[in-house]
């Protein structure tokens, strides 16, 4: 499950539109930050996406992505022109295609690589969707198939795009908006696929054109309910509207770390928070595996990303799309302490054993260090490539050293077991070959 949100410049304390997303996936499906330079290609060249090949564009833009390690596509990302896209799984009465096609994450990356603006990205994604379709397994282990929605934003405007099979509808939104794992456009949209209303009527999803409502017509009630997207979407919109006109990177980070009114996100076998932690299945089997916030400036967008799971236990670090990223060894599906994702995952999973007390042992220092990272990034934002690259590297190194200290402090605090929650994590850890219990 995921949550994606925007605050346009009218709702922020700066002149920049802000974009943010949490990506929720299986706990051992490590997510990585991946910088890919733009390029020029010859006519007839192909690009291999996760499952299928399609013709390559003659030119692509540089992108910074947060993507599952095994996948070509990405859960979220931003390109050199300040265009950002995040996707959501949505569940429909129309069965999702199980045959290999373009994943929603592939469509997201293709939109970033081939478009400069939000309207152009909507056009790129929908054109490819109509030609190649969406489908295939969306997780590495197990079986998960779904349709996709997207929040597409640039320095000027933001669009919601919702898809079912090869059909789609899109609407311009603002000044604040969020999407989660549910259809939200209801009976209002600005653009749509040809024949969308006829498709709805043909399948008996609405009795007449006057009664067409995308949310009611398409939504699979059972899966959508268990995904708890309605609750999470309401929560994020409440937070966005509450600070409207004052939003900063810090306020969006607070939303991405939100657990509602709970001080301990562990109890419960159902339900979901914006900052998601897995528990015993079959419902709560995902956690937030990556988080990203971006200030959407056309010439030099500024990005803050964790590169790790669980933003409530981690720290946002600064990056730029025009500066190559070197985060060292890339993660896979098992514990590798020398990687960014898994080195933090050891800390995260230890914190979960006594969340209130163990997080409290370093949260104040984490928040202070993150403030330094943000203010420092703003100060060097107009600097040279080498200055900004050095600053990103410095923040990554400081965060790594801090997390080593925090882990040592956490381990001094006794765990407080919750039986079913701990049972689930013993299973996750065994598969990851990570010993914490």
Show which residues are catalytic. Answer: 2
Let me know: does 432 contact 333? Beta carbons within 8 Å. Answer: yes
- Token couple for 49: 């996406």
Peptide linkage before 175 cis (omega within 30 of 0): yes
In degrees, to the nearest 5, what angle opens at C-alpha 134 toward C-alphas 133 and 137?
A: 140
Residues 6+ apart with CB under 8 A from 398: 369, 373
SS (H, E, C) the chain: CEEEEEECHHHECCCCEEEEEEEEECCCCCEEEEEECCEECCCCCEEECCCCEEECCCEECCEEEEEECCCCCCCEEEECCCCEEEEEEECECCCCCCCCCECHHHHHHHHHHHCCCHHHHHHHHHHHHHHHCECCCCCCCCCCCCEEEEEEECCCCEEEEEEECCEEEEEEECCEEEECCCCCCCCCCCEECCCHHHHHHHCCCCCCHHHCCHHHHHECHHHHHHHCHHHHHHHHHHHHHHCCCCECHHHHHHHHCCCCCCCCCCCCCCCCCCCCCCCCCCCCCCEEEEEEEEEECCCCCEEEECCCCCCCCCCCEEEECCCCCCCCCCCCCCCCCCCHHHHHHHHHHHHHHHHHHHHHCCHHHHHHHHHHHHHHHHHHCCCCHHHHHHHHHHHHHHHHHHHHHHHHHHHCCCCCCCHHHHHHHHHHHHHHCCCCC
Angle of helix 385-411 relative to helix 363-380, nearest 10 degrees? 180
- Token couple for 372: 């330094």
């Amino acid at each position: 499950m995921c949550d994606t949100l925007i605050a346009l410049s009218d709702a922020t304390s700066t002149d920049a539109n802000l974009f943010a997303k949490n990506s929720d996936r299986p706990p051992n499906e490590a997510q990585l930050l991946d910088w890919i330079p733009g390029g020029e290609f010859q006519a007839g060249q192909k690009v291999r996406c996760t499952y299928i090949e399609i013709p390559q564009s003659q030119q692509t833009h540089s992108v910074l992505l947060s993507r599952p390690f095994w996948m070509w596509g990405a859960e979220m990302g931003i390109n050199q022109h300040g265009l950002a896209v995040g996707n959501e799984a949505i569940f429909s009465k129309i069965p999702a295609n199980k045959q290999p096609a373009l994943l929603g994450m592939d469509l997201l990356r293709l939109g970033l690589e081939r478009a400069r603006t939000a309207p152009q990205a909507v056009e790129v994604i929908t054109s490819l969707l109509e030609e190649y379709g969406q489908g295939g397994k969306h997780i590495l282990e197990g079986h998960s198939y779904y349709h996709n929605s997207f929040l597409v934003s640039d320095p000027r405007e933001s669009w919601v795009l919702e898809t079912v099979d090869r059909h789609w509808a899109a609407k311009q939104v603002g000044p604040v908006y969020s999407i989660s794992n549910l259809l939200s456009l209801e009976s209002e949209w600005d653009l749509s696929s040809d024949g969308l209303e006829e498709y709805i009527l043909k399948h008996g999803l609405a009795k007449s054109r006057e009664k067409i409502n995308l949310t009611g017509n398409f939504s699979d009630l059972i899966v959508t309910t268990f995904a708890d997207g309605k609750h999470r979407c309401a929560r994020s919109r409440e937070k966005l509207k509450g600070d409207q006109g004052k939003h900063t990177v810090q306020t969006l980070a607070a939303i991405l770390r939100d657990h509602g009114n709970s001080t301990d996100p562990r109890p419960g076998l159902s339900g979901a928070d914006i900052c998601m932690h897995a528990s015993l299945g079959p419902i709560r089997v995902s956690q937030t595996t990556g988080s990203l916030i971006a200030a959407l400036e056309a010439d030099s967008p500024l990005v803050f990303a964790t590169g790790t799971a669980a933003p409530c236990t981690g720290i946002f670090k600064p990056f730029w799309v025009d500066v190559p990223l070197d985060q060292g060894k890339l993660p896979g599906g098992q514990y590798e302490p020398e990687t960014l994702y898994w080195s933090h995952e050891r800390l995260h999973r230890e914190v979960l054993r006594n969340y209130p007390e163990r997080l409290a042992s370093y949260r104040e220092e984490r928040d202070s260090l993150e403030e330094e990272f943000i203010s420092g990034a703003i100060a060097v934002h107009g600097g040279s490539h080498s200055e900004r690259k050095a600053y990103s590297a410095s923040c990554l190194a400081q965060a790594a050293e801090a997390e080593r200290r925090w882990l040592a402090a956490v381990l001094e605090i006794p765990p407080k077991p919750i039986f079913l929650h701990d049972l689930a994590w013993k299973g996750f850890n065994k598969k990851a070959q990570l010993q914490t219990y």
